[in-house]
Amino acid sequence: MSRRIAPRRMNLRRLWGWLHRWLGLSAGLLAALLGLSGAALVLKGPLLRWELGTMLEAPETGGRSPPDAWVTAALAAHRGPGTVMSVTAPHAGPIPAASALLFLSEPVPGGGVRHPMIAVDPGGGPDRPRVLGAVIFEDTWFSLLLGFHRSLLAGPPGGTAVALCGLLLALSLGSGLLLWWPRGGPGRSGGRTGWRQALLPSRRPSPAGRLRALHGAAGLWLLAPLAVLALSGTLLARPDWLPLRAVSKPAAPAATPGPTAPEPSVCAGPPDLPQAIRTAVAAHPGRVFRSAGAGPGPDAPFLIAFVDGLVLVDRRCGMARAATAADGPPTQAMRRLLGGLHADLMLGTAGQALVFTAGLALPLFYVTGLWVWLRGRRNRRAGRTRRAAVEAARHG
């Protein structure tokens, strides 16, 4: 019985080795580059401060001005054809900044759009926000780094390539785990020793042995964070692959009036973003403003986010109401969860350190795996040459 099982296990191990090798060779280089860019994005705070200087710093002297005044000041300073896409309070957005940040969208001659980013000091008194600086976001190194990490600077096809690379990385991690699983198995004699040798490899006599042991041990230690980053990155690059996207949108409660059907007598006319912010803040006094922006589509309401909830302002008549579960797609909460997992594993500073380490480990895995494969290939060729020479001498 054991004689039959042993060759079967050996064949399975060869199959996993073949799969692990070709997954690494096909997607390893791209995964290494995505890991490096992801590790660099963990340091986006220092990188942005180095690139943009004091534009992201604001002393906030004299009390904070209202958020609609930030938009008014930014548009007055811009004096261009752009429209405001979003405004974010200090320390409330994906870009770490002590200033309020506004993103505009403006057409480019010859087609296309670009996105000016304007930083505003929210202090200086209730009606005197100060513009700290402006930059075209696409012209920054941070934008190039972020675009490469998200879609290889190639639009939707690049996003698909990133998503496929994440899936291949997850498969490579699974095959690597099976390869490095101690042969004694859990619960068997020597299993504990096998795990100790796999997780804490001893010094090997040959360079190839040492690199192979380092490759396996680092992969086991970083298996969980790398798997989370690979799968969350796949779904962030291609959110339409989320299995929840086919879930139908729940119907809104009948007692909750929608913003698209107000009474004609109370319709105040189409608002702009500053007016929408003023309406939401006035309707919900005491709540802490976080961000605001236009929803998708020309008829979608403005989205005014507070720390404790979301308010919708109708674009036709300027009516404000609190958002309900029926106002968002079924994948909205899932996307927020995936974003938190991919940014720091939802572990704060410790998670950022793990993400940074995992990002740097991907190039290490690619280089060590490639070196071990090339060395083994050279040794196999040398062995075949020696055997052929022996056979030739024997028959000659």
**Per-chain mean pLDDT for the chain:** 82
- The 10s digit of each residue's pLDDT in 266-277 is 566 667 888 899
Write the CB contacts of 349 (distance below 8 Å, at least 6 apart in sequence).
Answer: none
Cβ burial of 114 (10 Å; 0-12, 13-18, 19+) is middle
The whole-angstrom separation of Cα 393 and Cα 396 is 5
- The 10s digit of each residue's pLDDT in 340-349 is 999 999 999 9
The predicted structure's pLDDT at residue 42: 95
> Please, which contacts does 12-17 make with residues 24 or more away whose CB atoms are closer than 8 Å?
13/178, 13/179, 16/175, 16/178, 16/179, 17/175, 17/179
Average of per-residue pLDDT across 183-204: 60
The whole-angstrom separation of Cα 114 and Cα 328 is 27
Q: What percent of the chain has pLDDT over 70?
A: 80
E-strand stretches of 92-129: 100-107, 113-114, 116-121
The predicted structure's pLDDT at residue 332: 62
The predicted structure's pLDDT at residue 203: 64
Considering only 197-211, 275-289, 314-328, 362-376, which range has the smallest mean pLDDT?
Answer: 197-211
The whole-angstrom separation of Cα 149 and Cα 33 is 8
Residue scoring higher pLDDT (385 or 134): 134
Identify which of 88-97, 200-209, 376-385 has the greatest average pLDDT. 88-97
Identify which of 37-41, 103-107, 121-125, 377-381 has the greatest average pLDDT. 37-41
- The 10s digit of each residue's pLDDT in 299-310 is 888 999 999 888
The predicted structure's pLDDT at residue 386: 82
Q: What percent of the chain has pLDDT over 90?
A: 37
Confidence of residue 114 (pLDDT cuts 50, 70, 90): very high
Verdict on whether the full-model pTM lies above 0.75: yes
Residue scoring higher pLDDT (48 or 195): 48
